[in-house]
Amino acid sequence: MFPVIYSDEFLDHKTGNYHPERPERLTAIVHALKEAAFAEKIAWREPTAALENSSVMQLLVKVHSPNYVNKVKEIATTGGGYLDGDTPVSPRSYDVALLAVSAWLDGINTVLETENPAFVLARPPGHHAEGDTGMGFCLFSNAAIAAYYALEQPGINRVAIIDWDVHHGNGTQAIVETNPQIAYCSLHQYPCYPGTGRSTERGFHNNVLNVPIPPGSDISVYQPFWEKKVVPFLTEFQPDLLIVSAGYDANADDPLASVNLQPQDYGLFTNYCLGITRKILFGLEGGYDLDTLSQSVVATINSCLV
């Protein structure tokens, strides 16, 4: 069985009319997975309530400043507002974001228990959230928090994060690049939002690999990068666990970027990751065309089941 960690509560983070990061992203994926040929092989799991997960707040204030965490909570409890022009906070957003963090931690536990992949189907996304601010639709840095949590578990000394979202995960990189036990690798369109992620950025311990992708690129551009840069970088790091910031906005039909991948290409990406380790936690980041988003998640999970 393939574990998918999901809750309908993730739909309660309301972003307003016409916002690309909308609840329908999750309902489209859930529908697609329930219609997939492997639907009977999915084990749907509810995340642990954030208040019952003592690690959530401890790690949250380790990764984010307490002032920032309190700011998100205050905006939510006073009726909602914006962290920036792109990043709304609705009345339930703080609670939902905490539940998303809890889901990612549950995902780490599941992967370590089974030594096989799992998928966290949660929102809001997280890879743009920096230590003291949210941006780019992101509230809390889910992948970075999950990496620090993983390092607290027995037998986990090195964690790698691969970010294949079309946008660079500036928040994740900023939070983990000082830690020699965490490697961060991102393939992203450049130039593009948020303007970070140059190939010259190598982290404090040579633990960062950024692979800028030119606009208009397709799988023929990505494959050599995976085989000549990404896989060697991750293999040399020898991670005990791999976390994937699984954004699907590099699809040709996605409205927020200009890269021309197809949903089945994410199955290939997944196979590259499986060649490094089966201890993989996939967690949803971007992806805003509902059809190709849901097809891409199906392709990702299908590769794990083959």
Q: What pLDDT score does 51 carry?
A: 85
Q: Beta-carbon neighbour count of residue 62 at 10 Å?
A: 14
What would the two tokens of residue 86 be? 């792109």
Q: Which of 48, 150, 123 is nearest to 297 (CA)?
A: 123
Provide the edge-to-edge strand list for the sheet that holds 208-213: 42-45, 2-5, 118-120, 280-284, 241-246, 159-163, 182-189, 208-213
Q: Pick the closest to residue 181 from 204, 214, 215 (CA basis).
A: 204
User: pLDDT at position 52, please?
Assistant: 87
pLDDT given for residue 25 in this prediction: 98
d(CA 188, CA 217): 11
Q: Per the omega criterion (within 30 degrees of 0), is the bond before 124 cis? A: yes
Minimal CA–CA distance to 10: which of 126, 111, 176? 126
**154 in Cβ contact with 139 (< 8 Å):** no
188 is catalytic: no
Q: Which domains does the chain have, with CATH numbers?
A: 3-305 (3.40.800.20)
Cα(175)–Cα(173) distance, integer angstroms: 5
- Which residue is listed with tokens 């199906």? 298
* Residue tagged active-site, from 128, 167, 168, 188: 128
Sign of CA dihedral 1, 31, 11, 241: positive
Of 196, 131, 199, 146, the closest CA to residue 169 belongs to 196
Give pLDDT, residue 258.
97
Alpha helices in the chain (DSSP H): 24-35, 54-63, 66-77, 93-114, 142-151, 170-176, 219-225, 231-237, 265-274, 290-305
Phi, psi of 280 (to 5 degrees): -130, 130
pLDDT for res 205: 98
Predicted local distance difference test score (pLDDT) of residue 17 = 94
pLDDT at 306: 83
Where does residue 241 rank: exposed (0-12), middle (13-18), buried (19+ CB within 10 A)?
A: buried
Listed residue (252, 171, 172) closest to 215, CA to CA: 252
pLDDT in tens, the chain (306 residues): 999 999 999 999 999 999 999 999 999 999 999 999 999 999 999 999 998 888 999 999 999 999 999 999 999 999 999 999 999 999 999 999 999 999 999 999 999 999 999 999 999 999 999 999 999 999 999 999 999 999 999 999 999 999 999 999 999 999 999 999 999 999 999 999 999 999 999 999 999 999 999 999 999 999 999 999 999 999 999 999 999 999 999 999 999 999 999 999 999 999 999 999 999 999 999 999 999 999 999 999 999 998
Kind and range of the H or E run holding 88: strand 87-89
What pLDDT is stored for residue 81 in this prediction?
98
